[in-house]
Structure 1
């Protein structure tokens, strides 16, 4: 069995919704075991309440020490000015001991993301995350244009060759669309096939 961890940080739930389809795609490939985790929140409940953030899902909090257990990773998070949220950065900042041992080297990872607007930095968010993967020796696996919805210009659709994505809207009211979720499922399946080949 190839063990793949799907690790997310989500303030308003959009990324967690996309992650459900990612997991569905991963599980469509034989020989894959999926672990589902979330990154710890660093904001206080007082601040989250003022932000009108919903309660966090009932998922285990990922610890740096958990990462070596997996053969591959899919990370999902929203963009913050074209880069990772502080919570995600704080998590990766805790992986120094793993980096020193190159404990994650050679393992593949895929990324998926959300932004408020169409031009909110989905692709640059991935690009700004690549140095983290490179320093760990983690192999970044892009999605490519492996789903026809990525060519659809008839409506707003998140995602790109870099990975699945959703557009949340400025007030967070827009939820992942059926086409965005289909893209996410396709990415999960595509990534699982790559991960199983590398594990072999």
Structure 2
């Protein structure tokens, strides 16, 4: 059975919610899917002061976990077009890179930002750059998911990966369309991994 890891960092729960949708999509395609988060770098006091969601149930990933999966989908919130805490975690994977432990695996990216033009695609590209350096085959949110082209409502989504818009106060939750895009990408990644590793 194809094994998928959905690895995320989420300050306010938006990325966390979609991580579980991506995993659900992967399971719909017949894969097993685990959801894990990267360690929080903020002190408990700083995280609480920033109103971060502190009761996330996903276990914290270890670097060596990455080698155990056929596909890894990486998601994070956007911090000025960058990937914040996720960068620190991936920076520690140099040993896996040296051993080519992730070479040939399937990867994907998803992101969140406060505004429609808040750097989502830059963050997706940043994640994808890391995945490509690890030697992974990247699967985005292809246009088979037509929901990313909607103009009758505010919606995230790009051909590079599923996205959502949280609002400047982080009060907007992922829409049904954005969650559907996440499930679609999860299925596409699991199906691709099954073809390559089956």
Which residue, out of 90, 94, 97, partners 1:92? 90
SS of match in other structure, 1:75: strand
CA RMSD of aligned residues (A): 1.1
Distance 1:194 1:158 in 2: 23
Distance 1:184 1:59 in 2: 18
Gapped regions of structure 1 (runs ≥ 5) = none
| Contact 1:116/1:170, CA 8 A, preserved across alignment | yes
SS of match in other structure, 2:73: strand
Give the corresponding residue for 1:169.
167
Give the corresponding residue for 2:149.
151
| Contact 2:156/2:164, CA 8 A, preserved across alignment | yes
Give the corresponding residue for 1:73.
72
Give the corresponding residue for 2:124.
126
Give the corresponding residue for 2:23.
23
SS of match in other structure, 2:179: helix
Q: Which runs of 4+ in 1 moved over 3 A?
A: none
Give the corresponding residue for 2:57.
58
1:12 Cα deviation (Å)? 0.4
| Contact 2:116/2:165, CA 8 A, preserved across alignment | yes
Give the corresponding residue for 2:82.
83
Tell me, yes or no, if structure 1 residue 107 matches structure 2 residue 105: yes
Structure 2 vs 1, CA of residues 158 and 7 (structure 1 numbering), >3 Å: closer, same or farther?
Answer: same
Give the alignment's TM-score, normalised by structure 2.
Answer: 0.96
Aligned residues, how many?
A: 198
Distance 2:128 2:161 in 1: 13
Distance 1:143 1:195 in 2: 15
Distance 2:53 2:90 in 1: 24
Q: Which deviates more from structure 2 when the two are superposed, residues 51-60 or residues 147-156?
A: 51-60
Give the alignment's TM-score, normalised by structure 1.
Answer: 0.95
SS of match in other structure, 1:66: helix
Distance 2:33 2:92 in 1: 23
SS of match in other structure, 1:49: helix
